[in-house]
Amino acid sequence: MTEATPLALAKTFLKAKDRLASTERATVMDALLLLLQNPYHPSLHLKKIRDGNGFWSIRASRDLRLIFYPYGKTWIVLYCGHHDEAYDWARRHRVEVHQITGEIQIIVIQTKEQAEGADSVPMEVGAPLARYDEDYLLSLGVPPDYVKPLRYATEDGILELMKGLPETVQERIWSLLEGKPVPPPPRIQVQSAEELLSHPLVRRQFHLLQSLQEMRQALGGPWEAWRFFLHPLQREMVEARFGGPARVTGGAGTGKTVVAIHRTRTLARRYPGAPILLTTFNKGLAQKLKGALRDLHGEELPNVHVEHLHSLALRLYEEAYGPIEIWTEERYRPLLEELGGGLPFSPGFLLSEWEMVDAWGLYTWEAYRGFSREGRGTPLSARERLALFEVFQRVWEAMAAQGATTFNGVCHRVRAALEGGRLPRFRAVVADETQDFGPAELMLLRALAEEGEDDLFLALDPGQRIYKGPTSWRALGLEVQGRSRRLRVNYRTTREIGELAERALPPEVEGEVRGSLALLRGPKPERRGFNREGEALEELVRWVRWVLGQGLDPSQVAVLARVHNLAERVGERLRQEGLPAQRLDGEGEGVWYGTVHGAKGLEFRAVALFGANASLFPLRTLLQKAPDPQEKALLEERERSLLYVALSRPREYLWVGYWGAPSPYLPGEG
């Protein structure tokens, strides 16, 4: 960069920046822009910190300081904060290149007591890392002064020591604790500081700005860390060339959406001029994806289209066939029950069987007759199937007479138009939150892109399946064997919150999600029971005031409820108490409030789940509609996943309140 000081952003800086108030963040950005133009501007007061481990500082305001480390010709921005806090951070950290791996690392300096304790205390019998020799731990990137303390420590002691290590080293130690083999990384061999800061391993902690334009874009736009830092497995999924559909899975906070956004930009650049689709299940999430992609790239990508799938399907339907009216359950259920009233089946079973047939597009007798109903709770004879199909056919005829169909019907007809060449296809499709897509949507996704290299990229979290039941992808022609990866590192949520959320999952799903590696530590989630809703509401208000007192902006706090009217009562009470509050689907300033469904795909620093009651998780009125034990089991699975969604939204603080009996899905203490 010939026009400005070479600059690299450390992940520690972005995390520290996020803890500042919004006005303070703007002040920090102004100071950095001035630094880029003239590092010796008198208002910055650039100086080397005495006893600061080689760090330098500049003044952003009377109280705010930025901490830097000069490496080669590059200034690494390490931290920002209030005066005493910033200088204390500088005294407690150091930056060095590891003698074995060649990685540049930010390390918490060991206290004298910690260092001396490792030499004086006998080897603990329960020290999990004692069986590994010092040279091996060094080869994994462990700093020399951490090797002995780690080998002597109990598991709790290791977890405490790991807080002072880089994420890459933390992950290697975690794998050792889980009994997994960890080969030493190859030594990084580079010729310059810029080459080192551009290395894939180092880029997880440092982002080297390559041009003045990129600096202006970075400083002018949102500063979310995901824009810059990718885990090696994430980067592999983003940049790979796949010979067919590919899938990335992982629990909440592991970065699936991050991968989907970066993958979309990669494909847009790889196939310039070719149409690329980024889609998801929810309209609100589609808008957030669009904004995130624009923030990542700096402007709209001309060959990328972002739209939620049902909106896209409806638009394509009208292009191919003309206007259509959509019937939801509220419209077709009464007719279905009326026409099927003479059959020996409950209304709940009629609806369930109809929805299965509609989802799979079984619109002919031959298709329904030959379809496997394996796993359905109620067996059917051929005669019973025919009787049901005749009822379904009459409902379809009634719809067609009024120019109507279902959303599933739209998806199936659009699929037929795409496969028949009636509509143009996309070069590639990237879909997020695909755990909530049913057969109709998944078959439509398959048809939206021609089969071939990089055609489909699907991201999902099985634990967040709250709308549809599980579906066999292979049965739909979505073969991802050999092109599927699971993300395990949780970048968003503290370990304490992540473990609680995972324990709420249904057993069938827990194994697919459990075991995410959360590198952050934080306060234990609060779990509070009350006699009445009013008491819970009073304590909720106290907790909201408390987290705001920890320095959080109101926009970093959310209160979630299972049902809409309960969420509205929360919002009204917050405003009565003089606290700024806004709905999740609104615009403005304040603590967010809304339903758990509305918070899907969002994250906050602090979240309160208001009403984790036995009557709300699972929702009693929904259970009463379940037609048979199997349908009830699937419903309960989705309800447990909904609780998991709520518990996994916060990054640092979680409060859970209920009155009366708690939800049977809510994990106990411990």
Alpha-helical (H) ranges within 38-183 are 83-92, 112-120, 134-139, 144-152, 155-162, 167-177
Q: On the CB side of 630, how many CA atoms lie within 13 Å of its CA?
A: 12
- How are the residues of the chain apportioned to helix, strand and coil, as percentages rounded to the nearest 5? 45, 20, 35
* Nearest residue to 432 (alpha-carbon basis) of 409, 456, 453: 456
**Cα–Cα distance between 183 and 654 in angstroms, integer?**
37
**Cα–Cα distance between 257 and 255 in angstroms, integer?**
5
CB of 423 closer than 8 Å to CB of 388: no
- 254 annotated as ligand-binding: yes
| DSSP letter (8 states) at residue 562 | S
Alpha-helical (H) ranges within 303-381 are 309-321, 329-339, 347-360, 365-369
CB of 210 closer than 8 Å to CB of 9: no
- 256 annotated as ligand-binding: yes
What radius of gyration, in Å, describes the C-alpha atoms of the chain?
28
**Cα–Cα distance between 458 and 260 in angstroms, integer?**
8
CA 645 centroid distance within chain = 10
**Cα–Cα distance between 479 and 660 in angstroms, integer?**
47
| DSSP letter (8 states) at residue 626 | -
**Cα–Cα distance between 206 and 12 in angstroms, integer?**
9
Alpha-helical (H) ranges within 422-494 are 439-448
- 250 annotated as ligand-binding: yes
| DSSP letter (8 states) at residue 616 | B
CB of 482 closer than 8 Å to CB of 469: no
Alpha-helical (H) ranges within 420-487 are 439-448
In residues, how long is the chain?
A: 670
**Cα–Cα distance between 555 and 633 in angstroms, integer?**
37
**Cα–Cα distance between 405 and 328 in angstroms, integer?**
9
- 434 annotated as ligand-binding: no
CB of 563 closer than 8 Å to CB of 619: yes
Q: How far apart are the first and last CA of the chain?
A: 53
**Cα–Cα distance between 81 and 14 in angstroms, integer?**
11
CB of 86 closer than 8 Å to CB of 55: no
CB of 57 closer than 8 Å to CB of 49: yes
- CA-to-CA separations, 548 to 54, 260, 438, 545, 582, in angstroms, rounded: 35, 33, 40, 5, 15
CB of 169 closer than 8 Å to CB of 70: no
Q: Which parts are annotated binding residues for ATP? A: 250-257
Q: Which parts are annotated binding residues? A: 250-257
